[in-house]
Structure 1
Amino acid sequence: MSNSIVIQTNSTVIEDMKQQYKHSLSPKTPQGGIFMAKVPSCTITAYKSGKVMFQGGRAEAEAARWQTVPQTPKIAVKKSVDSHRYAPPASIGTMSIVGSDEVGTGDFFGPMTVVAVYVDAKQIPLLKELGVKDSKNLNDEQITAIAKQLLHVVPYSSLVLHNEKYNELFDKGNNQR
């Protein structure tokens, strides 16, 4: 079973982490990432947002090392180019909605996979009963079990974009940014 732990920290701590893991840095960094490091039984990914994700069998232990690091306040924060004022309505959890997500966008190996789903407001109680919630709060085993049930409950569409096709589209000027 693979664990995922996400902590929120600041740029000073992230730089300390990068220095600590300098011999374990991965040459690939996901979109929005500052660094990715692989240590025994744990992958650490730090993001520009200040979030750091620890994945693997030692995720909890590795994250615990950094959760006790004193947080120094940021002096000046430059506003992100991607920032916006949009905030979903408070009632979003009761609305019919379409959502999508992708994986593999920051990977060297493996395809990009995109899935979109439609959830009717009347289905929300059933989804809650099945255990649907933010994937950061679920382990791999729970996600797999819930996904098997969801396939029969909600309409969805999935696309697997293999590397060859991605490269072909990218070379033509089509990219995800």
Structure 2
Amino acid sequence: MTQRTEVFRYPPARAEALRRALADAGFEERPLAHAFFQARGEGVVASLYRSGKLVVQGKGVDGFAARFLGGAMPEPSKKSADRGASASTSTSGPEACAALGPDRLGSDEAGKGDSFGGLTVAAVAVSQGQRAELIEAGVTDSKALSDQRVRVLAPWIREHYPFAERSLSPAAYNEAHREAGSNVNTLLTRLHTEVLLSLYEETRMEAAVVDRFSPREPVRHALAEQAAGLQVIEIPRAEAEAAVAAASVLAREAFLVQMEALRDQWACDLPLGSGAPVPPALRRFLKLHGRAELGQVAKLHFANVKRIAEGLPWS
């Protein structure tokens, strides 16, 4: 069975019913930005967004749909209408990548939605002959993998594939965020451009796939000026492309390593994500180390971080 990603429409009013059904089935629930919840179990990761989009990733998509979506299984969501963006922004990963050359670079980031920690971005170069090896090893979107599996796969990828990485500590992230005009997408554009340009100069592969974070395709525009021979596409759900999946594993592993080091350095529990465990952890950190040190472990522009730092309640 191969890894798949399917998107379904699901009534937001039924979100709680699905949450309970998954909990009863033993799925592990995790908080996710802009979503009712994310649940992991039975070979899939299911994310129900507040827009009504249900994204199911993994090897057990069909079983999940049959068991939890039943005979009234929602139809896969249709492609969004073209609103002036380039064709590559409105197509799925496999469709958009089909026109690219066989040897590809891919890039992805980790830490963008986490209150604690900085930001890591990675790029990996994968030739046509190496793609099957990645798939056979189980390399897929890091969000569909356990942290333990990410830790196993990342060193293997670094040993066998050309790669480039950029890792910003929380302090460096906060400074870079200010320098970018407090615009996360501007910062992401810089980092993705840096890793892809570095890898392009090393490998001269002529195609790159980026997990899209802005409909304006800023990485493609930036690299058009610096690497004219590189064809770049930015698409949602780009982790279906092997090179992007490998990059997501490296970025995630680098972020996990950074978080472990921060916990050891500050002797504090610093949870991943931005969900319910974060505010209590922020308060404990402030009690131990004071507000002046908060930027050493957290993203200061996050709303939950600001509220706790200012002594306001968070619910």
Could you state the TM-score of these two structures normalised by the residue count of structure 2?
0.37
Q: Report if the CA contact (8 A) 2:107-2:124 is conserved.
A: yes
1:10 counterpart letter in structure 2:
R
SS in 2 for 1:108: coil
Taking a change above 3 Å as real, the CA distance of residues 65 and 165 of structure 1, as seen in their structure-2 partners, is farther
Taking a change above 3 Å as real, the CA distance of residues 144 and 91 of structure 1, as seen in their structure-2 partners, is farther
Taking a change above 3 Å as real, the CA distance of residues 126 and 72 of structure 1, as seen in their structure-2 partners, is closer
Runs of at least 5 residues in structure 2 that lack an aligned partner in the other structure: 20-30, 40-44, 58-63, 89-94, 186-213, 215-315
Question: Which residue of structure 2 lines up, in the alignment, with residue 34 of structure 1?
Answer: 35
> Are residue 99 (structure 1) and residue 99 (structure 2) matched?
no
- CA shift, 1:145, in A, is 3.1
Q: How do residues 81-160 of structure 1 correspond to structure 2 at under 5 angstroms?
A: 84-86=86-88, 87-90=95-98, 95-128=102-135, 131-135=137-141, 139-140=145-146, 141-160=148-167
2:117 counterpart letter in structure 1:
G
Q: Write the deviation string for residues 131-177 of structure 1: whole angstroms up to 9, x where unpaired.
A: 25433796435444333222111111122223333233333314225
Of 110-119 and 163-172, deviating more is 163-172
Q: Write the deviation string for residues 104-143 of structure 1: whole angstroms up to 9, x where unpaired.
A: 2122223222111112334335445x52543379643544
Question: Which residue of structure 1 lines up, in the alignment, with residue 14 of structure 2?
Answer: 16
2:141 counterpart letter in structure 1:
S
**In structure 2, distance between residues paired with 1:110 and 1:72:** 37
Taking a change above 3 Å as real, the CA distance of residues 63 and 158 of structure 1, as seen in their structure-2 partners, is farther
- CA shift, 1:82, in A, is 9.1
**Larger-gyration structure (1/2):** 2
Of 118-127 and 134-143, deviating more is 134-143
- CA shift, 1:37, in A, is 6.3
Give the structure with the higher percent helix: 2
> Are residue 171 (structure 1) and residue 178 (structure 2) matched?
yes
Taking a change above 3 Å as real, the CA distance of residues 150 and 126 of structure 1, as seen in their structure-2 partners, is same
Of 166-175 and 98-107, deviating more is 166-175
**In structure 2, distance between residues paired with 1:78 and 1:126:** 33
- CA shift, 1:90, in A, is 3.0
- CA shift, 1:15, in A, is 3.8
2:15 counterpart letter in structure 1:
M
**In structure 2, distance between residues paired with 1:168 and 1:78:** 36
**In structure 2, distance between residues paired with 1:168 and 1:69:** 52
Could you state the TM-score of these two structures normalised by the residue count of structure 1?
0.58
SS in 2 for 1:99: strand
**In structure 2, distance between residues paired with 1:143 and 1:167:** 26
Give the structure with the higher percent strand: 1
Taking a change above 3 Å as real, the CA distance of residues 49 and 37 of structure 1, as seen in their structure-2 partners, is closer
- Kindly report the root-mean-square deviation, in angstroms, between the aligned alpha carbons of the 2 structures: 4.8
Runs of at least 5 residues in structure 1 that lack an aligned partner in the other structure: 22-27, 55-61
Taking a change above 3 Å as real, the CA distance of residues 79 and 34 of structure 1, as seen in their structure-2 partners, is farther
- CA shift, 1:11, in A, is 4.3
